[in-house]
């Protein structure tokens, strides 16, 4: 029997039992969709993570902190220093910059000298707002919702705010209108012998999508309003204490230093070299690897759930095909009488089961594309609201789609084997007598 005749016969036999075939295919569709969507979510999350890390250069970034033991994620938020650990001085920054492979060593500091921020008539207290200062030399990159990130020309002029701050200042959903707005920062009054207590006014040059409330200025801007503390020692009834005044930044050192490594290949060597300076070191590359591993585990679990759904669908195929062989016993007898070999009968049923699997796979993949599109339309709106430029984050990889179709077809054929063999081994004389 020719192959296309087998397919035609298989297709006809399936369409004779539309409801049953339909339900069996539906079960495969459910399995195929769960596998495809779950694995697509995981691969999409992975590639979104990797691409966003690559876009911001974080895969080449090494963060140095005063104390060892912080991982990458922690070191990005633990940028407050109380002076403990190794003090990250300008000299240390120079030494870090001298490590082979390091393009830039960018110090970053964080401070809390301000009480409130004012834009127009809106006044916010700055309790949970992170104020960050760094040298804008391209090492530290931000995902920008409007405007741009800090540039060297922003010294004493420009400020970048996060979407959270922009929302609270009344620019929700219209971040462009925040650009150019003057922002006035009022210093805290409770900072002891702080010398500089005048309000500072800066202009918003960008809105960034950093998590949480954050405002950023250049390191040179920060130096102009970082307070100086007087420290006095000695002094008694008759003697004057000796007082030295020291800039807060000089006193505590930087919170962290961001190293921009020229290539991801050199990151490991840079990490080892930096660790020799007894500082804390964390690489973005390792963070990517960690997160990817997490996603792989999640993917395995979700894929496993999908695989169970597919397994159940395979049982459905077996059931359908066993029913078919029982119902068609006499037909099988007739086919044998007019010359069908055992092999032909076996193939007919295997092809039929394979067609069930194939259709289930194709429909399942089609539905998965639909689900991905639906999720994207929901997600795109949310991304837009949060000022993230990325769109259509979830995608079904073509390779996965083809693999799912191949697997469901294979599962169908495998599930059809047992009933097919049963059909092929029927005694034709007995089968013809079957009522």
Partner 1 sequence: MALIECTGLTKTYRLGDEVVKALDGVTLTIEAGDFVAIAGPSGSGKSTLANVIGGLDRPDSGQVVVDGMNLATARDKQLSAYRNSHVGFVFQSFNLQVHETALENVISPLVIGGVGRKKERRRAGLAALEKVGLADRAHHRPTQLSGGQRQRVAIARALVNNPSVVIADEPTGNLDSARGVEVMEELARLNREDGITLIVITHDTGVAERATRVLTIVDGKVTERVGGR
Q: Which residues bind partner 1 (CB under 8 A)?
A: 1-2, 5, 9, 12, 16, 330-331, 333-344, 428-429, 432
Q: What is the DSSP letter of 169?
A: I
User: Judged by CB, which is closer to partner 1: 87, or 417?
Assistant: 417
* Minimum separation from the CB atom of position 431 to partner 1 (A): 10
Neighbour count for residue 339 (Cβ, 10 Å): 8
User: Judged by CB, which is closer to partner 1: 85, or 428?
Assistant: 428
* Minimum separation from the CB atom of position 434 to partner 1 (A): 11
**Whole-angstrom distance, CA of residue 215 vs CA of residue 347:** 69
Neighbour count for residue 181 (Cβ, 10 Å): 17
User: Judged by CB, which is closer to partner 1: 13, or 110?
Assistant: 13
User: Judged by CB, which is closer to partner 1: 9, or 141?
Assistant: 9
State the DSSP H helix or E strand holding residue 203, giving kind and residue range, or none if neither. strand 200-208
User: Judged by CB, which is closer to partner 1: 95, or 342?
Assistant: 342
* Minimum separation from the CB atom of position 326 to partner 1 (A): 16
* Minimum separation from the CB atom of position 19 to partner 1 (A): 16
User: Judged by CB, which is closer to partner 1: 183, or 355?
Assistant: 355
* Minimum separation from the CB atom of position 337 to partner 1 (A): 5
In which region does residue 299 sit, left (phi positive, over 0), alpha (psi from -120 to 50) or beta (all else)?
A: alpha
Judged on CB neighbours under 10 Å (0-12, 13-18, 19+), 380 is middle
User: Judged by CB, which is closer to partner 1: 413, or 424?
Assistant: 424
Whether the CA torsion 219, 220, 222, 223 is positive or negative: it is positive
Say which residues have a Cβ less than 8 Å from residue 41's Cβ, sequence separation at least 6. 302, 394
| Cβ 25 vs Cβ 356: under 8 Å | yes
**Whole-angstrom distance, CA of residue 416 vs CA of residue 345:** 12
State the DSSP H helix or E strand holding residue 253, giving kind and residue range, or none if neither. none
User: Judged by CB, which is closer to partner 1: 190, or 435?
Assistant: 435
Beta bridge partners of 261: 102
Burial 86-123 (b: 16+ CB within 10 A, else e): bbbeeebbebbeebebbbbbbbbbbbebbbbbbbeeee
* Minimum separation from the CB atom of position 417 to partner 1 (A): 18
Neighbour count for residue 28 (Cβ, 10 Å): 30
* Minimum separation from the CB atom of position 12 to partner 1 (A): 8
* Minimum separation from the CB atom of position 357 to partner 1 (A): 23
Locate 404 and state its tokens: 């799912």
Neighbour count for residue 336 (Cβ, 10 Å): 21
């Amino acid at each position: 029997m020719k192959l296309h005749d087998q397919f035609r016969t298989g297709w006809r036999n399936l369409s004779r039992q539309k409801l049953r075939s339909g339900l069996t295919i539906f079960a495969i569709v459910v399995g195929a969709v769960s596998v495809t969507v779950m694995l697509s979510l995981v691969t999409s999350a992975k590639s979104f993570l990797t691409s966003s890390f690559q876009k911001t250069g974080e895969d080449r970034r090494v963060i140095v902190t005063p104390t060892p033991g912080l991982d990458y994620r922690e070191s990005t938020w633990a940028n407050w220093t109380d002076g403990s650990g190794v003090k990250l001085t300008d000299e240390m920054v120079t030494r870090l910059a001298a490590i082979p492979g390091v393009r830039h060593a960018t110090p970053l500091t964080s401070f809390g000298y301000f009480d409130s921020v004012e834009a127009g008539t809106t006044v916010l207290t700055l309790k949970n707002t992170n104020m960050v200062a760094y040298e804008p030399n391209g090492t530290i990159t931000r995902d920008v919702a409007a405007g741009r990130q800090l540039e060297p020309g922003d010294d004493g002029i420009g400020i970048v705010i996060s979407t959270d701050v922009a929302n609270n200042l009344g620019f929700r959903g219209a971040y462009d209108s925040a650009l150019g707005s003057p922002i006035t920062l009022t210093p805290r009054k409770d900072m002891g012998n702080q010398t500089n207590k005048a309000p500072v006014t800066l202009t918003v040059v960008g809105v960034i999508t950093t998590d949480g409330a954050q405002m950023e200025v250049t390191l040179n801007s920060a130096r102009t309003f970082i307070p100086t503390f007087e420290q006095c020692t000695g002094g008694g009834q008759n003697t004057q204490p000796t007082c030295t005044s020291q800039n807060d930044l000089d006193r505590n050192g930087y919170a962290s230093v961001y190293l921009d490594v020229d290539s991801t290949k050199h990151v490991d060597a840079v990490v080892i070299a930096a660790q020799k300076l007894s500082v804390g070191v964390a690489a973005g590359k390792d963070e990517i690897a960690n997160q990817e591993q997490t996603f792989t585990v999640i993917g395995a679990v979700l894929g496993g759930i999908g695989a169970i759904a597919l397994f159940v669908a395979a049982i459905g195929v077996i059931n359908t095909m066993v029913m078919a062989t029982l119902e068609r016993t006499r037909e099988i007898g007739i086919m044998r009488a007019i010359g069908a070999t055992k092999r032909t009968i076996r193939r007919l049923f295997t092809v039929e089961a394979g067609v069930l699997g194939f259709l289930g796979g194709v429909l399942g993949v089609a539905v998965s594309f639909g689900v991905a599109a639906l999720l994207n339309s929901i997600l795109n709106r949310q991304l837009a609201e949060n000022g993230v430029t990325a769109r259509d984050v979830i995608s079904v990889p073509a390779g996965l789609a083809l693999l799912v179709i191949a697997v469901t077809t294979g599962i169908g054929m495998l599930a059809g084997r047992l009933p097919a063999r049963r059909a092929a081994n029927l005694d034709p004389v007995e089968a013809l007598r079957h009522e």
